[in-house]
Structure 1
């Protein structure tokens, strides 16, 4: 393992922070992730059209950050992170923010090698570096076991569509 800019290379892959030039890769990974989870392709294309400019703005100003694993110059896995404004809470009583993990994706040919777990460790280290002591994520059924092995647990969160 080799350390590079706050994240650890893993299994011969180089770990790098994501930046503005990664918007297309992150958008494609996100669309594929939701497609694999059973999303409607037409709806996901629409989502991606709106996600890309949202992402570009946040990559540009640093509100969206994270890491990518590279095989040579090809990104094969990535993770997105955000520090979100949140009122002090029993889980973080002195802090007004929490971490948010999103868009964890590993290319199919690179799965079952521990890459998602390595990216989650990088996320933990980055959140700690930023003083964030509590983080949340929304897991797909495929991702749940990876997160549970890293110490993540379900919460009482609920959701509702508003019409």
Structure 2
């Protein structure tokens, strides 16, 4: 193993982020056919946000080889009892560590950087959606489950 170092995301990391997201969902049990459909749409969504900095984050490298990443956003959210004077929240997504580099504290270090980045941007509250595999890490860092629920809504019938 070379020297691990972390740097901010760059516009040129588009393919890497898409691959990490694909692998994250694949390892969580999502069907490859669905991921094959999602990935080009995600790429199109991500490209302008990565370019304008509204999607930001970090990549950890082992020497010159990327081995982990984390995506971050500031999302609009109405003031809430947990952040009564703030109309934005931090959002963590696409946390991924290559299997060869797991259990070395890399994800924990990326989460620490995420919290610092949110603090620097004046975001006192952050959320994420955890896979089962990620829950122990997040819980150990003080993240708590919320009361959020979700439902897929059918598209309107064609006219």
TM-score (norm: length of structure 1): 0.92
Match of 1:86 in 2: 77
Report matched runs for 1:37-116 at 5 Å.
37-116=28-107
Q: Does structure 1 retain, via aligned residues, the 8 Å contact 2:3–2:63? A: no
Residue 77 of structure 1 and its aligned partner are, at CA, apart by: 0.4
Q: 2: CA distance between counterparts of 1:53 and 1:73?
A: 26
Match of 1:160 in 2: 151
Residue 53 of structure 1 and its aligned partner are, at CA, apart by: 1.2
Superposed CA offset, 1:72-104 (max 9, x none)? 111100000000011110010010000000000
Q: 1: CA distance between counterparts of 2:36 and 2:67?
A: 21
Residue 19 of structure 1 and its aligned partner are, at CA, apart by: 1.4
Residue 42 of structure 1 and its aligned partner are, at CA, apart by: 0.7
Q: CA RMSD in A?
A: 0.9
Report the 3-state secondary structure (helix = DSSP H, G, I; strand = E; otherwise coil) of the residue aligned with 1:53: helix
TM-score (norm: length of structure 2): 0.95
Specify which of 5, 9, 12 is matched with residue 14 of structure 1: 5
List runs of 5+ in structure 1 lacking aligned partners.
1-10
Q: 2: CA distance between counterparts of 1:83 and 1:132?
A: 8
Report the 3-state secondary structure (helix = DSSP H, G, I; strand = E; otherwise coil) of the residue aligned with 1:158: coil
List runs of 5+ in structure 2 lacking aligned partners.
155-159
Report the 3-state secondary structure (helix = DSSP H, G, I; strand = E; otherwise coil) of the residue aligned with 1:49: helix
Structure 1 runs (4+) deviating above 3 angstroms are: none
Match of 2:110 in 1: 119
